[in-house]
Amino acid sequence: MKTLFDETCIGTLQLRNRLVRSATWEAMADDAGRPTPRLVRVYRDLAYGGTGLIISSATTFSGDATRVPGMLAIPDDSYIQAYHELVQTVHREGAPIVMQLVFPGRNGVFWTPSDPSRDEIHSIARGFRDAAFRAQRAGFDGVEIHAAHGYFLSQFLNDKRNTRTDEYGGIVRNRIRFLLEITSEIQARTGETFPILVKINCSDFEEDDGVWEACQSACSKLAEQGIRAIEVSGGISHMPFPPQGLPYEESVFRDYAAEIARITDVPVILVGLNRTPSVLTGLLNTAGIGYFSLSRPFLRQPDLARYWRKNPDRPAECLSCDACREQPDGNVCPFRKSLVGEK
């Protein structure tokens, strides 16, 4: 029987358990997007707390990128050393770390698929490539492409939001083209052994959005390209979560993730209200889902992995109240307790 605390590998990533910290905006980068000592401490606590794999918060890669306050960035080589120090801190505590890369838009505007020209699309793909290479040089163990939650790249999958009439819009093959080109660019620059993960929406949960069909096709093609893992999410950031109509109170995208696991041969990571070890263990052994990522529970319990190892019958303490987003000093849980043995 598989357990949440099996030691496994995702490509070259060696994981001490199946619990993943999903990308979480911390609002703690400096004004230029570099990690601060306070932010490094957040990642150290996650690693020290036993997390199997850490995915960084969304990181932009162009100097004119649209960013929210405290958002990470890696627009040029001068940022590499700051990230190298963050990575070393995480590695000393025994966890691998992956940088999530995102393109929201430029000059304060959140882009839609209709905004860029073909040349700009190609330039963005090269931007992902160059940022991934910087992450590799900084010591990150891989990168994750953010193609979920209704942001720019995610919208290409949506048949209603993607109104392009060229080779990047219309039929499913065209709507997934940009994502596949990005991964190909990264592979060409970083090499075949450097892990690339993709976070993708199973659905935007809009009527007839076509996202599920595009998701299945994209995941199949990504697996053929050699992607190392697929993180299955859903919904749009500014809409209520979880989306209406799902039959579960926990692990809400489980059926979609199970289907992606069935049609591909790469590890699937499920995100979305993962709260109870027994539920996750059941999915691990019956649905083909290999890993489980969490966001808000790690804000309250950065040592959640250690806690669940000792208390397998206890759910996460997170109440999903979103008080973390209302704090004046960053995205932090007001109910967080200090780690036992915290350094």
Distance CA 129, CA 186 (A): 4
Q: Which two tokens stand for residue 261?
A: 């696991």
* Residue 268, CA distances (Å) to 24, 177, 198, 253, 334 in order: 19, 21, 10, 12, 32
Distance CA 100, CA 60 (A): 9
Q: Which two tokens stand for residue 250?
A: 């926990």
Total number of residues shown for the chain: 343
Distance CA 303, CA 316 (A): 11
Nearest to 217 by CA among 185, 160, 182, 172: 172
Between the CA atoms of 36, 41, 42 and 45, what dihedral angle is there, to the nearest 10 degrees? 170
Q: Which two tokens stand for residue 151?
A: 């942001």
DSSP 65: B
Beta bridge partners of 145: 101, 198
Contact in structure between 98 and 53 (CB atoms under 8 Å):
yes
Contact in structure between 220 and 264 (CB atoms under 8 Å):
yes
Positions annotated as catalytic residues are: 151
